[in-house]
A and B are shown apart, each in its own frame.
Chain A
Amino acid sequence: MSAIYALYTTPAAAQRAVNALRASSSALHFDAEQIVVVSQEPVEECEFAEDRHKTPMFLLAVIGGLLGAVTAYFLTSLTQRSYPLPTGGMPLVPPWTDGIIVYEMTMLGAILATLATLLVSAHLPTFRKPLSDPEIWTGKILVGVTDPPQDSRRELETRLRQAGATAVKSSS
């Protein structure tokens, strides 16, 4: 993945760069989805940081929990019937004790579903080289365009500079 990107010291400057890139995307023949912003920490006060795709993570965690509960219910009740093991005068399928297994498996289901949703929705793990720069870890914000059209590179560099970049770089 090639990219052209710039580094900004403030979220406001990064937002200006994003605005400028969005405004010129059709003129410079690239898609707005190709604009990338990378930061060392969550930047919450900017429009570009507002995730436009709502995540179903909470819902999927609940569904995962329910699946865990159903699995635990069948694991306990079916096996207790298949392999009867009379203990302490208790019924073969005691809801009190099975409830504990159901509870733990519900939580396990929710945890695993959350984990899976995070990995899938955040595109992790990925084997392609991530777009990054050591300067990000000094607090700068990276704004760039991935796979930019060859004939628009110079113009993109200008736009990125005009937004207040401290450095403009390209990666291949």
Chain B
Amino acid sequence: MAPLFHTNAAYWIAVALSGSLVLAGACAFLYQIYHGIGVWGLNSPVFWAFDITNFVFWIGISHAGTLISAILRLANATWRRPVTRCAEAITVFALSIGAIIPLCHTGRPWLGYYLIPYPSERHIWPNFRSPLLWDFFAILTYLTGSVSFLYLPIIPDFASLRDTTSGWRKRFYGTLSLGWEGTPHQWHRLETAMQIMAIVIIPVAVSVHTIVSWDFAMTLVPMWHSSIFGPYFVVGAIFSGIAALILAMALLRKSLHLEEYLRPLHFQNLGKLLLTMSLLWFYFTFAERLTTWYGNSNSDMVVFWSSIRQNFAPFFWIMVVCNFIIPVPILAIKRLRTITGTVIASITIVIGMWIERFLIVVPSLERKFLPYSWGTYRPTWVEDTLMAGSFGMMALLYLLFSKFVPMISIWELKAGETHPLISHEPVVAADPLADETPLTTETSS
């Protein structure tokens, strides 16, 4: 709990930096609102670019938390205990940021409620056959589930803070703890609910990124209309999500001095998962490209060569290096799979996965069918600043969260260790007079 009460200079510097990025992003957004979406680099035929790249990227990052936490919870992996809350928080924040981006893209975000299907005098109903509306339902469900999945196990920790703090903190945590006592009845209900949530949230998480992939795959644009896009996106999402989780854990470990809880074992285990996902990512990338190359369709091949040999080739090969060439040896060799090693691999993977999202979105739109309609895309400062703002917002939300909520689940951690006060004596003792422990008598109100 110490990080909640003591703040060092590094924390304030991090808040100032991330806050500045958010402020810059907000200014760029206001500029865009005032001048219209024409200030972006979008043009015909590239109607989607940085914004949708960031949307897919952040939705992918959101797969770090709830999905991994739910899988580890169901598998009863005991090493998960210090990791789960760091992970679940990433999901909620990344998903929220991801959901904001399409609203910005609409150009008139204050009309975003048009997406919500409800009877209105407009007599225009959202098209339920549009993958964009599927996104609305998928993100709504995943966000609801993820917020619940994050909040429910924090309730006992809020109660702990309520009972051990004073002043505004006592009132604040008292409200958030909802009057939690910690009776066996409440524990039983909470654990049952968490079990059900874990079962439900896994297929929801898979569906969310599958549906994001269908935003592309349901169109006939070259190299988008692919049946493996669903699993390809899910694998990429989990891949980038684990990398983001490792980075967040490393930062928290250093800045909040959580070395005792976030141990090398956690990084090693997550490193193994990351290695598996890196190999899977390579397999899907290869399978996707091989099928396109073998099919040799004219329109597909134009995009294919554009990304491998021509103007997007540097991005493509940087992506391969970042997602496969660098991380695989680091993560495969036990001696290199240290905290530093996994952090280096994670940094390259996050960069590589952002480039991958960009390469999915832009080359296909630039080289869409007939050459007369081809175009070129260059991002503007507004898009760059909005992207930087999204990264700043993620960092800021995470920093603020870590200041008000214990980043390690206290009760889960204690439940997982042998408590020094609890001995292994027989549970139902026959003689009620057996203990002769020193007594005190107090009155509290």
Contacts and interface: CB of A to CB of B under 8 A. Distances in A.
Co-complex (A, B): yes
Interface residues of A, number: 89
Interface string B329-346: 000000000000000000
Given A94-B129, A134-B163, A12 B427 contact: yes
Contact of B182 (A38, A83, A108): A38
B298 interface: no
Contacts of B425: 10, 12
A45 interface: yes
B189 A139 contact: no
Contacts, number: 235
B181 A38 contact: yes
Nearest to B125: A83
A157 B440 CA distance: 11
Contacts of A40: 156, 160, 182, 411, 414
Given A132-B163, A168-B441, A76 B128 contact: yes
B167 interface: no
Interface residues of B, number: 75
Interface stretch (B195-203, B287-295, B311-319, B389-397): B195-203
Given A20-B432, A40-B411, A45-B427, A133 B444 contact: yes
A12 B421 CA distance: 12
Interface of A: 9-13, 15-16, 19-20, 36-43, 45-51, 53, 55, 57-58, 61, 75-76, 79-80, 82-83, 85, 87-88, 90, 94, 97-98, 100-101, 103-105, 107-108, 110-112, 114-115, 117-119, 121-128, 130-134, 136-140, 157, 159, 161-172
Interchain residue pairs A-B with the least CB separation, the first 9: A164-B435, A126-B179, A125-B178, A42-B187, A104-B137, A118-B193, A139-B421, A51-B188, A41-B415
Given A48-B184, A132-B162, A137-B160, 19 more contacts: A12-B425, A13-B429, A16-B428, A16-B435, A37-B184, A39-B187, A51-B185, A55-B189, A57-B193, A57-B196, A85-B127, A104-B140, A107-B204, A111-B201, A136-B163, A139-B422, A166-B437, A166-B438, A166-B440
Interface of B: 117, 123-125, 127-129, 133-134, 137-138, 140-141, 144-145, 148, 152, 155-156, 159-160, 162-164, 178-193, 196-197, 200-201, 203-204, 207, 211, 411-412, 414-415, 419-423, 425-429, 432-435, 437-445
